[in-house]
Amino acid sequence: MATVWIPSQMQNLSGGIEQVTVDGSTVREVIANLDAIHSGFRERLCHEDRLKPTIAVVIDGEISSLGLRQKVSPQSEVNFLPAMSGG
Amino acid sequence: MSATSTSVNGNGKYKVIGTRPIRPDGVDKVTGRALYGIDMNLTGMLYGQILRSPHPHARIRGIDTSKAAALEGVRAVVTAKDLPPAGADEVISLVEGTFRLTHLRSNILAGDKVLYQGHSVAAVAATSLHIAEEALRLIEVDYEILPDVVDVVAAMQEDAPLLHDDLTTQEFGEDSGKKSNIASHIQFKLGDLEKGFAESDIIVEEEFNTASVHQGYIESHNATAEWKTDGQLTVWTSTQGAFGVQKQTAGILGIPVSKVKVVPMEIGGGFGGKIPVYLAPQAALLSKLTGRAVKIVMTRTDVFQSTGPTPASYVKVKLGADKTGKLLAAEANIAFAAGAFPGSPIGAGAVCVFSCYDIPNGLVNGYDVVLNKPRSAAYRAPGSTQVNFAVETLVDEIAEKLGMDPIEIRLLNAAEEGMRRVDGAVYPRIGCRETLEQARAHEHYQTPLTGPHRGRGIATGFWMNAGLKSTVTASVNEDGTVNLMEGSTDIGGSRASIAMQFAEVLGLPAEAINPMVGDTSSVGYTELTGGSRVTFATGWAAYEAANEVKRILITKAALYWEAKVEEVRFEDGDFIHASDPEKRLSFKELASHLVDLGGPVVGTGAVDPDSGVGGSFTTCLADVEVDPETGKVKILRFTMVQDAGTAIHPSYVEGQMQGGSAQGIGWALNEEYFYSEGRMKNASFLDYRMPTCLDLPMIETVIVEVPHPQHPFGVRGVGEASIVPPPAAIANAIYDAVGVRLRDLPMRPDRIFSACLEKQAATVAT
C-alpha cells in the first residue's frame, strides 16, 4: 500500500495522523481510498475530476504533472504540496 | 568582470557537451540586428499609451474619455468596460499559479478600484506617440481616495484597509470564510518541534525584513497587436513564454486560444518578470476598435510602478542546535507581499526556507498577503532569497556562539539524498554537500583575509528547479545541417545549450545545428522559460528529437545500401553497414543523398518531465570591507559554487552564476522600492540603485557537476540558485568585518552606519 503524508493543514481530517497507508494504483484511487477512511480529503484536494490547480502531488520525490492519473506503486510515497513555480 | 571555472567531476565522455561554441544568436545581438519588440513597425500602425493611477488606493467613481476621444489623431480609447465580464469563480491556471480571471482583468484595466500607484486605468491609440500622451491628459477620472497599506505586516492586521471585498483566506484547499488581506496560509510540519527545541543547547530567534526588488531587465515591456477582421489576433511581444501570453491574452479577452498567435521577439532580460502580460490585451482591444496594428511600449517608470517586483517580506526564524552544532529544530513564520492581487511565491519560500539542512523537527507558516503595491511577479528563485537571508544569518550566529567554522557547521547539517524536507518531500541525489566541500577547498577560503574592517561571509542556497512541457522539431537539410525549431524563448544562451544536446546524440558539431525560436503557430506547446528548466526540459526534447532523426536516418541508410534496417548501425557519428564495415556514411554524406531516399527527415521531441525535488544548490563566499565612517560596503572578493548537474555549455553556466550573484549583491546592498505615502519615490534607474560594473568584483565561479539522475545527460538547470545566498553571505561578512548584524535588506550605508553607532554606544555603556 502507498504511504500518504498528510499535510499538516489537513490533519484535522485524519485525526492528527500524519501518515496513512492506503491502496490504490493511481493518485485518483489513493485519494478515493483515503477519503473512504477519513472523509473530506477528496473535497479538499480535488475540483471535479482533477486536482485543484493550487495543489501539486509529489510521488517518490517527483512532482507529477499527471495529477489524478499518476501511477502509484505499493512502495510509493505520496505528498501533497502547494503548486509553485520559478522565474 | 571575469570568471574562473572549475569543473569538479568533468565528464570526458561527450564530444559536444562541455565545450564552448559561439552562441548562434550572438552576431545579430552584438551588431544590433536582432529584432526586439520595440523594433516592430507595421504599415498604418498606431501608438498606444496607458493612463495610470496616481493613487495607491482609490475607488473609481467615473471616467470621462470624451475629450480624449475627440482629440485629432486619437483613434480609440478603452477602459475596463471594454473587457468582457468575468464570473467570480472563473480562474486561469498558468504555470506560475492559478489566478482569478477577475484579478487578471482588473490588473490590465482597473474596474471599480485602483489598487496601486501605476495601476492601468485606460488606454489610448493615436497616430503618434505624442498625441496619445496628450490624450491621456484629457481623460478625467473621478477618484475617491481610500486608505492604503504597503507594509506586509500592517496589511495582515485585522484593522488594515481591505483591498478586495471578496477576498477570504484559503487554507490548503479550504476557504476560511474570513475576509482579510491574507489570501492564503500554508503550513508545513515535520517531527516534534517542542521536543526539538527542548533538546537544543542553543536557540536563536530573530526577525528579518526584505524590500520589494525589481528584476531590472534592461528592455522594458512592449506589445504590438493586430486584430484582423477575420477574428485572428497576432501579438508580437517580449516574453518568457509565448504560449503563456497566448493563454493569458485569450482568457482576459474572452476568446479561444486558437484565435491568438503570439510571436516572441528577442528578449532583453526577464528573470521572471516577463511571464505576466501587461500590455497585450490593451493593444488588442485598441486594434480591434481601430482595425490597425497598435504598439505599446512602457517607460522605465511604468516598468517600476506597474510591473511585478519580487515580494517584500517579513520572516521570523527560530533555530535550535545541540552543542556539536547539529540542528535539531527550526520554525519559520513568513509573510510575502503579493502586491495588489494574490499570488506571491509563498509556497516556494516555505519549501526553501530549511531546504539546505537536515533538521528533524520543523514548522513553517507562510502567508500570501495583498497590499497596495503592483502585483508581484517571479524573480529568479522566487521566494528563496528572502527566507535564505534569515536562515543563513542565524546558522552563522550559531556557528559563532559554538566557536565552529561556518562551513563545518553547514557540512554537519547538509541536506543529502534520502533526507526528508519540512514539506515532506524526500531528496533524490543532490549536490549540497559537494558545493560546501568545494567552497572549503577553494583557494579563496584557504587564503586568510587581513586588514581592518574586513570580513568574510559564507552562505548556502537552494532552488528547486522545474521540468514542465517542451517541444522541439528538427528538420535535416541536404547539406548536413539541421534546422531546430524550439518553443523556449532564449534568455541566457539556451539556443546553444539545446542545440548542443541535439548535436551530441548525432555526433554533429554544434555549428551544424541552426536553432530557432518559434511562435505559437509554428512549434509545439512549450511552457515558459523559467524555473531553470529550459536546458533541462527543452534539452531533453532535443535529445528525443535527435533520437527520432537517428532512427529515420538508419532506415534511409538501409534504403541507400538496399539492405535491411537491422543491418545498419549508428556509431560515433557514422552510419555503418554491419556486414560490410567498408560501407560507412557520415551524417553529412547521408544527408546529401536524402533527395533520392524518400520523404523528408523530421524528428520531434515532446516531453513533460517530472522535475523532481532535487534542484540545485549553491554556496558562496564573500569578502567585504566596511567603512565604519559611512557604512559603505566594498566587496573585495566573491566566489560562487553551484551544482549545475552536467554543464552543457560551461560559459553560459558561468554567466548564469555571475548574473545571479550580481543580482543577489544588488538585493544585499542597494536595491529597494522606496515608498512614501503609498507611492514609489525612486522609479528610475537613477534613483533605484542597481549594481553597475563599477560596484562589482570579479565573480569567480566553480561548477560542481552532480548529474541529475533522470536526465539523459544529467542536466539540473542553473538559472536561479545563484541569486539565493549572496545577501546572507554579505550580511555575515559585514558582521565579521565590523561586528554588527543586519536584519533588513538592503543593507544600506545608513543602516550599517547606525548599527555601528549603536554598537559603539553599547560598548561605551558597558
Separation of alpha carbons B638 and B621, rounded Å: 6
According to DSSP, the β-strands at A62-64 and B120-126 are: unpaired
| Block residue for cell numbers 506589445 | B223
> Best residue in B271, B427, B610 to probe A by mutation, most A CBs within 10 Å?
B610
Could you tell me if A85 lies within 8 Å of chain B, comparing CB atoms? Answer: yes
H/E run at residue B207: strand B202-210
Are domains B1-12+432-465+612-766 and B44-147+215-306 of this chain identical in fold? no
At residue B405, φ and ψ (nearest 5 deg) are: -65, 135
| Average pLDDT for chain B | 95
Tell me, what's the pLDDT at A85?
A: 57
* Cell numbers representing residue B485 in the block: 525549431
Active-site hit among B504, B527, B544, B720: B720
Kindly report, residue by residue over B399-409, the tens digit of the pLDDT. 999 999 999 99
Per-residue pLDDT, averaged over B49-75, amounts to 98
Helices (H), B562-681: 587-592, 650-669
pLDDT score of B11: 53
Alpha helices in B462-612 (DSSP H): 494-506, 539-561, 587-592
Q: How many domains does chain A have?
A: 1
Residue A86 has pLDDT above 60, yes or no: no
Does B514 have pLDDT greater than 70? yes
pLDDT at res. B96: 73
Least Cα distance to B744 among B377, B389, B392 occurs for B389
How sure is the predictor about B9, in pLDDT bands with cuts at 50, 70 and 90?
very low
Chain A residue numbers with beta carbons less than 8 Å from the beta carbon of B426 are 60-61, 77
Q: What is the ipTM of this complex?
A: 0.93
Strand partners, B621: B458, B639
pLDDT digits (tens, 9 = 90+) for B163-198: 999 999 999 888 999 999 999 999 999 999 999 999
| Res B60 pLDDT > 60 | yes
**Residue A35 lies in domain:** 2-82
Residue B522 burial by Cβ neighbours in a 10 Å radius (0-12, 13-18, 19+): middle
Do B19 and B659 contact (CB within 8 A), yes or no?
A: no
Is the CB of A37 inside 8 Å of chain B's CB atoms? no
pLDDT above 70 covers a percentage of chain B that reads 98
CB proximity A63 to B under 8 Å:
yes
pLDDT value at B248 more than 90? yes
pLDDT tens per residue across span B196-228: 999 999 999 999 999 999 999 999 999 999 999
Q: Which residue of B has its CA nearest to A4?
A: B424
pLDDT-derived band at B90, boundaries 50, 70, 90: confident
Answer yes or no: do A8 and B93 touch at CB < 8 A.
Answer: no
Residue B2 pLDDT: 42
Domain B469-605 in this protein, CATH class: alpha beta
pLDDT tens digit sequence for B112-149: 999 999 999 999 999 999 999 999 999 999 999 999 99
pLDDT for B532 equals 92
* Reported CATH class of domain B44-147+215-306: alpha beta
**Model pLDDT for residues B444-499, shown as the tens digit of each residue:** 999 999 999 999 999 999 999 888 899 999 999 999 999 999 999 999 899 999 99
What pLDDT does residue B1 have? Answer: 40
- Range B511-534 average pLDDT: 96
Residue B294: closest CA among B282, B283, B280: B283
Q: What's residue B97's pLDDT?
A: 77
B392 is catalytic: no
Does any CB of chain B come closer than 8 Å to the CB of residue A32? no
- Span B502-510, mean pLDDT? 97
The average pLDDT across B264-278 equals 97
Q: Is the pLDDT assigned to residue B658 strictly greater than 60?
A: yes
- Mean pLDDT (whole number) for B272-278: 96
CATH number at residue A16: 3.10.20.30
Residues of B with CB below 8 A from A79's CB?
423-425
Q: Which of B273, B463, B612 sits opposite A61 (nearest CB)?
A: B612
CATH topology of domain B1-12+432-465+612-766: Aldehyde Oxidoreductase; domain 4 (3.30.365)
Q: Output the DSSP codes for A23-54.
A: --SBHHHHHHHHHHHSTTHHHHHEETTEE-TT
The pLDDT of residue B749 is above 80? yes
Residue B636 has a CB neighbour count (10 Å cut-off) of: 17
Average confidence (pLDDT) over B344-368: 97
Q: What is the pLDDT of residues B569-625, one digit of tens each?
A: 999 899 999 999 899 999 999 999 999 999 899 999 999 987 665 789 999 999 999
A40 within domain boundaries: yes
Domain residue limits, chain B: 1-12+432-465+612-766, 44-147+215-306, 469-605
